[in-house]
Amino acid sequence: MKKETFSVVNHSVLKIDGLQLALGRKSYVADLKPSDALYVKMLWSPHAHAEITSIDIRKAETMPGVRCVLCHTNTPRNIHCTAGQGFPEPSPYDTFMFDKKVRYVGDRVAAVAAETPEQAEEALKTIEVTYNLLEPVFTVDRALEPDAPIIHDEPEAHIPIPVPYEPEHNIVAKVGMEAGEFDQALAQADYSFDYTYETPYAQHCPIETYISMAHIDARGRVVVETSTQVPFHARRIIARTLGIPVRQIRVIKPRIGGGFGSKQEMLLEDVVALMALRTGRHVIWQLTRAENFRTGRTRHPIRLRIRTGVQKDGTLSALGMDAINNTGAYGGHGLTVVSCCGSKVLPLYRCDNIHFDARVVYTNLPVGGAYRGFGATQAFFAVETQIDEMAEAIGMDPLVFRQKNHIRTGDGSPVFQALGEGKEGTPMTIGSCALDQCILQGAAAIGWERRTPHTEKTGRYRTGIGMCCLMQGSSVPEIDMGAAAIKMNDDGSFNLTIGATDLGTGSDTVLGQIAAEALRTTIDQMIVYSSDTDLTPFDVGAYASSTTYLSGEAVRKAAVKVLNQILGVAAEMLEVPAESLEARESTVFSADGRQATYSEICLYALYQKNQFQIMDSASHITHKSPPPFAAHFVELELDTFTGCIKLLQYVATVDCGTAINPKLAEGQTEGGVMNGLSYALTEQYLFDSRGKMTNASFHNYHIWSMRDKPILKTILVPSYEETGPFGAKSVSEICINGPAPAINNALYNAAGIRLREFPFTPERVWNELQKKQA
């Protein structure tokens, strides 16, 4: 590990937007709404699968206050993909702004913009729609049957990259890889295992639901202020959907009340933009919580069959994963999520014989999307459960089994090369891995040595300790790009503009810290502005754990260029060669003790001689996706009378390289763990027989609150990633992957039960206890 003394990074500076948010200053989309904005309400499909045989909006158009009504008869029919990904997207184009067909309960039918939300609601009621009901498809098994109804039979549907796409079979994508001799290794293993796991639907539940507002500026361009993780992709997709040039659109992301992947999507923007174009007015649309649940994006439910082989000495000889990903009614992110089941999980353990085969399938259920963890969450539940089981079978402590097999610095994996984003991946060797330390420090913190086998436990309340190991990635190599520009001001401050998207994560702060460090100045000299397609450089946006590692390096490179300009001007002023100068604390020093402050330097450059603006920009793409690593530990108490689980303590260790802002890194970890605990224990989508979610509110969809928080300890275990800015890797996604497998393993340690699906509700735990007794 490299030791550097940092003055700004690796310090927990305050979030630069913290005060404005704490004081409730106008920051979010809803705060920016003028008093005369039009409000949008959407008529959603009550049916899971149906053709619209007729729709009559004439009455609605004459209702009081109504200014615009949209439906498939009066809107552009441009096939597109709502997923905010690179271009061309590794996702099918299977969506129209409005279609003649509805494919899930919550699909768009018609939209109204009116002077008040109530008037818009009233107008919706007057829209007459007749449907021809089609057989709905609610399971992946049914979707794959030869006589299954075809969900996407529109001729325009296609995928813009060369991968298999078979909508006539409800198949969105297929991906796979082989390394070594999997079948043979499995057959020859001392012990082999074959289990199938199901992971459930869930939602991100950002406190700010989806919201977008559009208006027309003085030059007739449409300005969309929106709660998005992907402003530049959103601009591109709006342009495609509406059939207008990109130059006509400006997308601005103000502060955001959480995203977690759900807003890596263009979901509301096309409607408000078109309505603004048609009415010339400000148009705002925010989903209610129920709408957010039903029509917003979700975590893909995935069925995972895991086949593994292990030798008595603890060698992992075969590792196989077959995944079926239910992407719901539309295919965005389906392929990439399931690819990450393989690419972010299978390399964690050294194994010569690897098999991966995955399919993505349409159903008439809510639409999957990007969700923090992105496939790794689902797959780690399955794989880390089975890892424990293998250790048990050979009589090895599961911690020792993991220590023996986990990937290390200098290792590669055939998986890295084989699996990319809709194409082959990028070969990679691990440059930084402190997983060994994560395991040791986590074990010490939880008190792993107190762990006794479940066979020694009796009585109503039984404690169990479980663990798991995790990895993720940092950015999508060779695809994603981030750019930054820095401009110096007369007082020695700097404008940092970035396309990167802060969705509450603190990335504006973190990127400001990176710039300040490289510029040898302090964070208060940085004026950070991000995510405005007119004013900031491009960035793919906030996803794939990329902002710190990818955009951060663009920022660092831009800062180094600007620093060189500063040194050049100082050299002119002090009449010494630039190489002899040193910059620190916003001042340039010469070897003979003279100095020029940044303010003096900028004033000189702006006003005195050889004038120019000190400014520069840089772009960055990555050539690898260095994984952060983590070991999570949980101690719980199982009430065998009720099946209720009480968490006693949770320890999350993480190697994220250099933590640019340790407090924010801890915050990411704790938030992710809480989110993961909630997913593991309580969250579930319940559907009625017609495919409608029945618990679309926080009253019945239970996310965890502070009352539920166990003792939660985060340990940042440093390493140094040479390819990242100041040694940093990612931290934001990995943490959500741990709770489900760690709890499952602790349940086994408590009572000898292993579950193959979650959430671990009292009912489900009770079932397992019953089965075990029988």
Partner 1 sequence: MKTLEEIFCRQPETLNEALTLLSDEATRGVLLSGGTDLVVQWQAGAVPMPEQVIDLSAVPELKEISAQDGCLRIGACVTHAAIRNHALTREALPALVAACASIGARQIQSRGTLGGNVANASPAGDASPALLVADARVVTASLAGERCIPMNEFLLDYRKIDRHPDELILRFELTPCPQGGIERFCKIGTRGAQAISKVMGACRVVMHGKDIQHMALALGSVAATAIRLPETEKLLAGKTLCEELVDEAEACVLREVHPIADIRSTAEYRRWVSGRIVRGFLESL
Binding site for partner 1 (CB under 8 A): 118, 121, 460, 641-644, 681-682, 686, 694-695, 697, 699-700, 702, 704-705, 707-708, 761-763, 766
Shortest Cβ 698–partner 1 spacing (Å): 8
Shortest Cβ 287–partner 1 spacing (Å): 17
**By three-state DSSP, how is residue 455 classified?**
helix
Shortest Cβ 516–partner 1 spacing (Å): 41
Shortest Cβ 462–partner 1 spacing (Å): 14
Shortest Cβ 696–partner 1 spacing (Å): 11
> Nearer to partner 1 by C-beta: 86 or 762?
762
Closest CA to 397 of 343, 451, 351: 451
> Nearer to partner 1 by C-beta: 525 or 640?
640
> Nearer to partner 1 by C-beta: 223 or 747?
747
DSSP 757: B
The whole-angstrom separation of Cα 634 and Cα 709 is 12
> Nearer to partner 1 by C-beta: 223 or 681?
681
Phi and psi torsions of 149, nearest 5°: -60, 145
Find the Cα–Cα–Cα–Cα dihedral 324, 328, 334, 340, rounded to 10°.
-50
DSSP of 326-341: EEETS-TTHHHHHHHH
Shortest Cβ 121–partner 1 spacing (Å): 7
Structure-block tokens of residue 669: 């970890």
The whole-angstrom separation of Cα 410 and Cα 418 is 18
The whole-angstrom separation of Cα 447 and Cα 465 is 9
Structure-block tokens of residue 539: 């960035």
DSSP of 539-601: B--S-TT-IIIIIHHHHHHHHHHHHHHHHHHHHHHHTS-GGG-EEETTEEE-TTS-EEEHHHH
> Nearer to partner 1 by C-beta: 314 or 762?
762
- Most distant CA pair in the chain: distance in Å? 89
Shortest Cβ 465–partner 1 spacing (Å): 21
| Distance set, CA 24 to CA 17, 28, 289, 719 (Å) | 11, 10, 22, 38
The C-alpha angle with vertex 150 and arms to 144 and 154, in degrees rounded to 5, equals 140
> Nearer to partner 1 by C-beta: 143 or 681?
681
Shortest Cβ 122–partner 1 spacing (Å): 8
> Nearer to partner 1 by C-beta: 191 or 766?
766
Contacts of 211 (CB under 8 A, 6+ apart): 28, 29, 30, 226, 227, 268, 284, 285, 286, 287
> Nearer to partner 1 by C-beta: 11 or 702?
702
Strands lying side by side in the sheet with 50-56: 101-102, 50-56, 128-133
Q: How far out from the chain centre does Cα 285 lie?
A: 23
The whole-angstrom separation of Cα 276 and Cα 362 is 33
> Nearer to partner 1 by C-beta: 118 or 153?
118
Shortest Cβ 682–partner 1 spacing (Å): 5
Shortest Cβ 461–partner 1 spacing (Å): 10
> Nearer to partner 1 by C-beta: 16 or 677?
677
